[in-house]
A and B are shown apart, each in its own frame.
Chain A
């Protein structure tokens, strides 16, 4: 038993730095985030070029390919990279293995690029193969985070949400692979397929395919989508924000009971939704309402946290995030409507489904992530480049790393693009979907420019010798000399600029 462990067992309140003092690598989360941003750029560009993808019903190879570019290439990349970064912050312990995370990154890249490509050409066999590579990566991710969770010094609602999310992402990938297996033909019995253990695997897949044939193809797809969208993305957004929002707004969790209840209900609602969607049961709206209630509790707790905050001004990153949370409510309403038994299947309801998917993935999840990226990336760059110099040189503030004006412009362009695209989708207007997509692309461009600005600090850090005059406009602290309480005696307080 290590000395550290011994001393913490003797006196659990006292702990030496847990598990070594090595600084977490910033390259790993940055790698994930940059892959995500590239995918986002590609995805939005694709929509600008092919607005028919939203203006017509979503069950075709191009829409599915684009959707997976969004959910795997953009959202999952950022979420996973962020998780590797946020674990020490949210769970107060060290990531179990950085090496495993790097292997996962490779699997993730190969996996999602391959899958998107193969979806586009509708080669389901290859989708399955690349899906397995991605799945291996996800298995490593789940294992890594699960081992990390075991080290958490104090279990809390965020840890519960993360644990649940791990279960649901595992299930999402499994379900996806099953759906793919169901779409393959298993009639080749020549060459490679007759060697070694391959026939066994093929037989197994054939049986799986036969099992999947019991379910309606579209329902299976929708069920799989909800597992990921609600079980992984929403679960993490809710759970992690219970830790991050108090941290950034200088507040605290107001009611642990309410927060925990929201997570419990979200899980129950999702379990029920998955089953009822898959089986096309008339109980779908009931579980949609359970999910809606869970989200209502979340909104209530968030409002309480914000009410109690000490930092009154909300920066743009937080504004992006909170807007996404607000959009959860029309989204849930739409879910209940679409879940209604006996809903007619026509062009309009088909388009409504498109709006639902788009609003969920772009309006809620992407917008929430964009807000958090504006907190995460500057911190990663600042921590990697500047934190070793604290106390030895003058380091820039976090807010100096990017342009808040661009960020604000991006916010309004994004909202406009979201609104226009949703309306255009509803009325099946390709021209207006394109317009909406262009507005979204503009928003993404502002993010790209800002990320570029942040990254230049990595390449060319802006350090000044101690004692160089600081920018008085950025300083919000009173002088240490007067003995008054101050945020920082040396550099200007490195908080984000108030909006």
Chain B
């Protein structure tokens, strides 16, 4: 299987104030094992390293002469159940992973949007912990539809903590 390299130049997007996270995640989702995602950004996208690592990517970052950053993300495994056994390290990482989303202090429907988008990027076996000001009534039906289940606990400070995992 020939491996491909997908290049995403984000410099213009970022300069225009556009949010490229979705572009990156959907590009990453389309890659097979052995494929590469080459990102060009005006700064070192450190938070991405962890996010994509959880999806099974290694990274190699280098600074270009122009001062921009070029990061090569290489997919090690597609993360499907069939290949999970081959890479025990990554599998172990996946099942222990908990993503935290703070959706407090946001006007509706932002908490809903923030949580659902975080779920879109959730790896297999990963869990999501979402904090909200109110019980997220509108969330449950959407989670159900996307194949997730949730449990909400009220916190002592009056906010709510919802655990989301794949059902």
Q: List the interface of chain A (C-beta within 8 A of B).
A: 13-17, 21-23, 88-89, 92-94, 153-154, 247-248, 250, 310-311, 379, 382-383, 387-388, 390-392, 394-395, 398, 465-467, 469-470, 472, 475, 477, 479-483, 485, 487-496
Q: What are 12 inter-chain pairs, A to B, with CB distance below 8 A?
A: A15-B153, A16-B150, A89-B108, A92-B137, A247-B107, A247-B133, A383-B109, A475-B19, A477-B19, A479-B19, A490-B117, A491-B22
Q: Evaluate contact between B110 and A488: CB separation under 8 angstroms.
A: yes
Q: Evaluate contact between A487 and B114: CB separation under 8 angstroms.
A: yes
Instruction: Given A383-B138, A470-B18, answer yes or no on A13-B154 (Cβ-Cβ < 8 Å).
Output: yes
Q: Evaluate contact between B152 and A15: CB separation under 8 angstroms.
A: yes
Q: Which of chain A's residues have a CB closer than 8 A to the CB of B150?
A: 16-17
In the complex, whether B142 has a CB less than 8 A from a CB of chain A is: yes
Q: Which of chain B's residues have a CB closer than 8 A to the CB of A13?
A: 153-154
Count of chain B residues with a beta carbon within 8 Å of a chain A beta carbon: 53
Q: Which of chain B's residues have a CB closer than 8 A to the CB of A17?
A: 140, 144, 150, 152
Instruction: Kindly report which residue of chain A lies nearest to residue B142, judged by CB atoms.
Output: A387
Q: Evaluate contact between B22 and A21: CB separation under 8 angstroms.
A: no
How far in angstroms is the closest Cβ of chain B from A240? 14
Taken residue by residue from 96 to 129, chain B's Cβ proximity to chain A (1 for < 8 Å, 0 otherwise) reads as 0000001001111110111011111100000000
How far in angstroms is the closest Cβ of chain A from B155? 9
Partner of B21 from the list A15, A88, A247, A489 (CB cut-off 8 Å) is A489
How far in angstroms is the closest Cβ of chain B from A68? 34
Which among B10, B109, B150 has the highest number of chain A CB atoms within 10 Å? Answer: B109
Q: Evaluate contact between A391 and B108: CB separation under 8 angstroms.
A: no
> Among B40-48, B56-64, B74-82, which stretch is in contact with chain A?
B40-48
In the complex, whether B1 has a CB less than 8 A from a CB of chain A is: no
Q: Which of chain B's residues have a CB closer than 8 A to the CB of A394?
A: 22
Which among A15, A153, A379 has the highest number of chain B CB atoms within 10 Å? Answer: A15
- Supplied contacts A16-B151, A480-B19, A490-B21, 7 more A-B pairs, CB within 8 Å: A21-B141, A88-B138, A89-B134, A387-B138, A470-B18, A481-B47, A482-B47
Q: Evaluate contact between A398 and B141: CB separation under 8 angstroms.
A: no
How far in angstroms is the closest Cβ of chain B from A330? 31
Q: Evaluate contact between B113 and A494: CB separation under 8 angstroms.
A: yes
Instruction: Given A383-B109, A469-B13, answer yes or no on A23-B142 (Cβ-Cβ < 8 Å).
Output: yes
Interface of A is mostly: loop
In the complex, whether B2 has a CB less than 8 A from a CB of chain A is: no
Instruction: Kindly report which residue of chain B lies nearest to residue A493, judged by CB atoms.
Output: B110
Instruction: Given A382-B109, A390-B117, answer yes or no on A21-B140 (Cβ-Cβ < 8 Å).
Output: yes
Q: Evaluate contact between B16 and A247: CB separation under 8 angstroms.
A: no
Partner of B109 from the list A388, A398, A483, A492 (CB cut-off 8 Å) is A398
Q: Evaluate contact between A470 and B117: CB separation under 8 angstroms.
A: no
In the complex, whether B17 has a CB less than 8 A from a CB of chain A is: yes
Q: Which of chain A's residues have a CB closer than 8 A to the CB of B119?
A: 391
Q: Which of chain B's residues have a CB closer than 8 A to the CB of A14?
A: 151-153
Instruction: Given A13-B154, A247-B108, A391-B119, answer yes or no on A491-B113 (Cβ-Cβ < 8 Å).
Output: yes
Q: Evaluate contact between A388 and B22: CB separation under 8 angstroms.
A: no
Q: Evaluate contact between B26 and A387: CB separation under 8 angstroms.
A: no
How far in angstroms is the closest Cβ of chain B from A301? 18
Q: Which of chain B's residues have a CB closer than 8 A to the CB of A89?
A: 108, 134, 137
Instruction: Kindly report which residue of chain B lies nearest to residue A391, judged by CB atoms.
Output: B120
Docked Cα-Cα span, A470 to B110, in Å, equals 17
Docked Cα-Cα span, A398 to B108, in Å, equals 10
Instruction: Kindly report which residue of chain B lies nearest to residue A7, judged by CB atoms.
Output: B151
Q: Which 4 A-B pairs have the closest CB atoms?
A: A391-B120, A467-B23, A23-B141, A17-B140
Q: Evaluate contact between A379 and B144: CB separation under 8 angstroms.
A: no
Q: Which of chain A's residues have a CB closer than 8 A to the CB of B22?
A: 394, 466-467, 489-491
Docked Cα-Cα span, A480 to B99, in Å, equals 15
Instruction: Kindly report which residue of chain A lies nearest to residue B154, judged by CB atoms.
Output: A13
Instruction: Given A13-B153, A467-B26, A481-B41, answer yes or no on A388-B113 (Cβ-Cβ < 8 Å).
Output: no
Q: Evaluate contact between B18 and A469: CB separation under 8 angstroms.
A: yes
In the complex, whether B143 has a CB less than 8 A from a CB of chain A is: yes
Q: Which of chain B's residues have a CB closer than 8 A to the CB of A88?
A: 137-138
Docked Cα-Cα span, A467 to B105, in Å, equals 26
Q: Which of chain B's residues have a CB closer than 8 A to the CB of A15?
A: 151-153
In the complex, whether B145 has a CB less than 8 A from a CB of chain A is: yes
Partner of A481 from the list B21, B116, B118, B149 (CB cut-off 8 Å) is B21
How far in angstroms is the closest Cβ of chain A from B40? 12
